[in-house]
Each structure stands twice: as structure tokens, then as C-alpha cells.
Structure 1
């Protein structure tokens, strides 16, 4: 018997953003928006097992608290299967507290789950936790209240002042970093996806996980190591705190190489290195092609020494206005970065332009493949990308 990870989620602190929102909204309105709600992860399971345990990490300096966590079998839409809900405990206690920068692992729960079945992991917290993340394609959030044991409809918690700016809030799961399953027979390829918000949001990750469950059950596990705003070469800008994580070339040690049994990496970083330079996000220039290439080679070489198979995506064909001076720089760097990815030494390179890029030659996605911002994949874009992948390329 051994414990295999079936889910991961990188934790960062939202303290800087929280403080900015509080200054704009005021304490009373902020407290109203953070009213206690239930958040639910809907997780397709790709390997069969008999016990589960949950791992939590608090990336903030302040103690995090969750009143109750429940795990149950469910449908793909999140409908709870009657009689399957179990409260997660920690040394027998259902109330979870994690000190700042601390970690905790739950007691194991006996729950027989087969490859292809779905689990609902629900958390109810009465206080605002600042160590959170969201794989929004796999998560829903309730109206205020503890609804961990029951089926509920997704509610958009975005405050009005954010809506007016075209922004939104996705469901945020506090402190959850890993779910492990105890299995006797499975020897799956464990695949870690190192990426940015396009990975983290789940619009290609979730369809790929469902495809694995459907087509090669028991043979592979897919783990999400995406952080919104993350860059390969540079840490999160100072004015955002650590919200966007340290440079991918650094965090890969904890978020990929320290994960048990991991033997394949999908590398999907670089678009933020390109797009963030000389912008509101970061006033400094984007990394040079040489700097970006060195970081790519460092990832490929580190993986090779660990006998880990590497699959790299070229850059997503995000919209670039080539009529502007900065746009011309970015378009030139786009091609240079892709050349560096191709020659970095990854075992397999997946070319995204033929799959996703507008064929008329403009630097943008095909129609319908992206969200309105021209950067992030839409449901359709994620589905098209996943259906073109050869699953054999991912197996070690």
C-alpha cells in the first residue's frame, strides 16, 4: 500500500490584494463580502483507492481557520451522493487551525473510490483566510452558510465595485495543498503541470484530467501547480507581495520535485514573462531571450537529472497589438521565447500556434478560443487543446 497524490494546489497569500480592497470598499462592506460561505472542489479521480487524506499549507503569516471540511462522493456537476459525506478530522477534531507558514495533514478517511468517480471536497470557514487558491473550472461557492453536506448552486461573490471594472472573484479554497489516496495496485504516471493562471484556472487542465479518467484510468494522475501571474524568470512584483509566487525556476523544487512519485512535468510558463514587462504589472523590461532560455534549460536539465519526463508547451498565442512600440517588442520576443523552448532540451514540445493561433497571421487566438481579455483560454480553447494532445506523450 502507498499514498499517491491525486490533487495539488499551490498556496500563496492574498494579503496585499486584501488590504487594497479593504481600503477601497471599507471595513463594513469588506466584512459583508467575506461572509461565511461554503466552497467546493469537484474532483474526478483517476486511480482506485480505499483511504484519503488531505494536506493543508498556510502561505500567510496569520493563523488560518476552517470550521468544517467534508468529503463525499458526487456527480460531475457536484450533486452529493446520499450517505457518503464524511467530516475530515485532525487528530480527532473537525476544526482546523494552521499557524502562519505552517502545515497540517488530516486523519485518514476510509472511502472506497474507483477511477472515474467524482469526489466533492467542501470547506466552510467563518473567518477570511488569506492563504487561498482557485482552480475555478473545478470549484463552486455557495450563498453564506455551512452547506458542506448538501448539494448547492454556484454563486458569484464578486462585489459590485469589481464588476464595474470588468473584474470577478472566483471561488477560493483556503489552504488546501494536496489530496492523497492510499492504493494497493496502481502505479500511475504522476504528472505535474507547472504553469500560470491559464493552468491554474483549469480550462485545459480539467478537460485533460477528465480525459485521463475516461481513456487511461489507473495509468496517470494529473496535478495542478499553476499560480496566477507566475513567471518563469522573475518573482512576484514587490507591490503585489508574494501573490504571484516566486519565479517558476525556483518554485519548481517545492511545487514539482518534492511531490511524491512525480515522474512527468508539463511545462507551461512564459507568457507572463513576455506580457508583464514595461506594464502596470511590472515597470521593468521583460527577460531577454537569453535569460528566458537559460531558465528553460535549467528546468529541463534539473528534470533530466531526476529522471523526470518533460513536456513543454510553446507560448499561448495571446493578443499583442503589434501597431505599438511595446507590441512590436513583445511580438519579436514571443518568437524568440518559443525558439528557446524548442531548443531547451525538453523531451517533447507541444506547438500551440497550429492549435490555437488565428491563421490570418495576427498575434491572437482563433475566434472563440480565448476569454474576452485575449490572454486566457476559454472553455472551447481548453477543450480543443486537450483533444489534440496524444496521451502517450505524457506517460513516462
Structure 2
């Protein structure tokens, strides 16, 4: 009887080998982000509430194709419980009717202070770089705690907010869109301040440098990369300001939420400039900054994430430019170019943007305030990034 065992084993093995390979389970991929950020108190003193009995529409460009999506609703940095109702999502082109978004089947959603909730999946196929429209009704006075984005706001409970409503730049409650797809792409996170957020890009465009990088990657290596923008205006590498520092938010905004494979860090200008006011506070020195940069690289590498460092761009002529911070910037950039940083490489944004005749300044035609690039400046930043370095060998 034993002599049949090998024959049976061989027959079983042949049957297994002949069987079709099991299809991999779908995965959830973060396809868009906006970092949590404390309430900026942007409203006037006599009207401090941001939303009250209003419907808010946000148009979002998702960075990946997918068969379904779900929203991440954040109250992680909120000061009071968050309540929203009638959340809906549709393709921006309006060809598909808006679909309800629920959490555990509930259309009235309550998010505790310090928490974030993922919505139930919504069956809405999307293509890479396609726009969706997300709307929500805020029945109660609400101060959202996610970084500012472009919104359209109308009074009352509205089933649809027209695209003709003027865009405003305000905080909202959605911190991520996830899509479901068959295989996982490479996820690249741009971590930085207002220059990464793209605060000076023309409203209603996707001219921020991370968004333009996403376009380049999608054209060269279709559906293989996602670029997420985790910039926040006023952000610093080391210290809290309008938002938590990059060191503080690294785990939440990059490692946990984004599921990053690579990070492009462009932080530090807000750290090294002297503070404004009657008695300006000196900015951080180069030694402090290098410690912070190396900590970011070390922590990312511990999670198997590649780390790229952007050199600091010029800000000569801006309101808080002075010789000490200029010297600090030069020291940081010299160190970055030394190849001994602990990062996997650098992106020389400084060399790309600086005025050849005035190296401490941006050319006048790419800035309005001598600090932030305009759309053309953001294009140059995106074009300065070597796609091959990121792993994109162009297929066409």
C-alpha cells in the first residue's frame, strides 16, 4: 500500500500546479490626503464659527484608480465632538448621481475628539487623477481641524452645491480618500510647509508641485505611483506653530495614514527665519536643523521608507529675511549636498529656483512675495525631480 503514496502525492501536486493561481485580495490605498491641523481661527472675531447650518462641497483629485472608495473623517485635533450629516460623493463631471456616505450604516456621523473614522466603502469606480466631489451638511456650529483646502459653502441643507459657487480656502474635516484596487502602487508623500501645500497656486488648479509630480508620474508610469500632499502652511520641522511640527506628525501623517514607500521632505524655512513682531525671536540654527533632518531619515528608514531631502529655496527680499537666517540656509544646503546626510538622496530645489544673478532670491517672475513660488515656480520644482530616482522607468 505504501508504494502508492508517492504516486498519489505526485498526482495531487500536479493537480495543484495545474490549478489557476488564486487572485490576490484587493487592497486599500490612500489616494488623497490633507493633514489634520489645529483650528486656525480664520474667521473674524464677531463670527468665529467656521460652519453652521451650511452644506460644504470639496472637489478632490484622487491619485489612483480604484473600484470603490472610502473617506477618512478627522477630528484628531478638534476641540469639540464633530457632527456631520448627509455626506455624499460623486464624480465631479456629474455623470453619476451622488451616492450616500455612511459610517456603520449611519448617515449622521459623530466623531469624538482626538479620533478619526473611516466611512463604509462606496462602490464608485474612479480613474487615476480623476476628480470627485464630496459634500457634507454641518447642522451645528463647527470648527474643523484639517488643513485648508478649496471649498464651496452654501447656507442650509442642500442636496447639491453648484460649481458656480465661489471657491474659498478654508479648513474642512476630510483628511484622506482611500481607494480599493487589485495591487498596491508605490506611495510617495510630500511632507512640508506652505510651499508644498501649494498655498499660492491659482485656486481651482492642480499646479502645486506634488500635484504636478503626480501628473508626470502618471504619464510616464501609468497607475504605478501615487503622490500625496501632506504640506501645511506655516509648518516647521522642529517646533509647533500653526500646526504640529514635522517631527511630531511624522507617524500620524506619513507612516500610519499614508502607508508611504517614499517621502520627499521639504521643511525648514519657517524654522530658520526670525520671528516677526516688535521683538523678533531668532530662528533655529543649522546644528538643530541637521539633528531634526537626521531624525526624520532614521525614523523613516526604520519603517522601510526611502527618504529624499529637498534643499531650502531662497527668500531674499521677504519680510523676515536677514543675514543670520540666510547663513543658516546656506549651511543646511551645503550639508545636504555633501552626500553624508542619512537620506537616500537630495532634490536641489534651491538650484532649480534661485535667481542666477541674485542667489539669495527667487526670480521676480516666479514669485509675488519673494518667498512662495507661483505656478511657474511650482512647475519648475516638479520638473526638477528625477523620476528614475523614484523608481519610474518610463514605459512610454
TM-score range, shorter chain: 0.7 to 0.9
Alignment of 1:281-296 (within 5 A): 283-296=280-293
- Give me the whole-angstrom Cα distance separating, in 2, the residues matched to 1:127 and 1:393: 48
| Correspondence for 1:345 | 342
Question: SS of 2:145's equivalent?
Answer: strand
Label 1:282 to 1:108 Cα distance change in 2 as closer, same or farther (>3 A): farther
Gaps of at least 5 residues in structure 2 are 1-25, 200-207
Select which of 51, 55, 62 maps to 1:45.
Answer: 62
Question: SS of 1:232's equivalent?
Answer: coil
Deviation at 1:83, TM superposition (A): 2.6
Label 1:53 to 1:337 Cα distance change in 2 as closer, same or farther (>3 A): same
What's the CA shift string for 1:194-238, capped at 9, x where partnerless? Answer: 1112222362122223333333221011112222211111122xx
| Correspondence for 2:130 | 117
| Correspondence for 2:155 | 144
Question: SS of 2:179's equivalent?
Answer: strand
| Correspondence for 2:223 | 218
TM-score, normalised with respect to structure 2: 0.81
| Correspondence for 2:6 | none
Deviation at 1:110, TM superposition (A): 0.9
| Correspondence for 1:386 | 382
Alignment of 1:193-208 (within 5 A): 193-201=190-198, 203-208=208-213
| Correspondence for 1:107 | 120
What's the CA shift string for 1:50-86, capped at 9, x where partnerless? Answer: 1111112211121122223221112xxxxx3233421
Deviation at 1:346, TM superposition (A): 1.4
Contact 1:220 1:395 in 2 (8 A): no
Alignment of 1:58-69 (within 5 A): 58=75, 59-69=77-87
Deviation at 1:37, TM superposition (A): 4.4
| Correspondence for 1:72 | 90
Label 1:12 to 1:141 Cα distance change in 2 as closer, same or farther (>3 A): same
| Correspondence for 1:180 | 178
Deviation at 1:250, TM superposition (A): 2.5
Which is helix-richer, 1 or 2? 1
Question: SS of 1:141's equivalent?
Answer: strand
Contact 2:63 2:129 in 1 (8 A): yes
Question: SS of 2:365's equivalent?
Answer: coil
| Correspondence for 1:279 | 276
Question: SS of 1:304's equivalent?
Answer: helix
Select which of 99, 104, 107 maps to 1:94.
Answer: 107
- Give me the whole-angstrom Cα distance separating, in 2, the residues matched to 1:111 and 1:146: 23
- Give me the whole-angstrom Cα distance separating, in 2, the residues matched to 1:40 and 1:143: 9
1:171 aligns with 2:170: yes
Deviation at 1:105, TM superposition (A): 1.3
Alignment of 1:20-59 (within 5 A): 22=44, 25-26=45-46, 29-30=47-48, 34=51, 36-58=53-75, 59=77
Deviation at 1:293, TM superposition (A): 0.6
| Correspondence for 2:236 | 231
| Correspondence for 1:167 | none
Q: Which has the larger radius of gyration?
A: 2
Deviation at 1:320, TM superposition (A): 4.0
Contact 2:34 2:229 in 1 (8 A): yes
Deviation at 1:122, TM superposition (A): 2.5
Deviation at 1:286, TM superposition (A): 1.4
Gaps of at least 5 residues in structure 1 are 75-79, 158-169, 237-242
RMSD between superposed Cα atoms in Å: 2.7
Label 1:140 to 1:380 Cα distance change in 2 as closer, same or farther (>3 A): farther
Question: SS of 2:293's equivalent?
Answer: helix
Label 1:148 to 1:220 Cα distance change in 2 as closer, same or farther (>3 A): farther
Select which of 375, 383, 394 maps to 2:371.
Answer: 375
Label 1:98 to 1:346 Cα distance change in 2 as closer, same or farther (>3 A): same
Question: SS of 1:111's equivalent?
Answer: coil
- Give me the whole-angstrom Cα distance separating, in 1, the residues matched to 2:158 and 2:214: 26
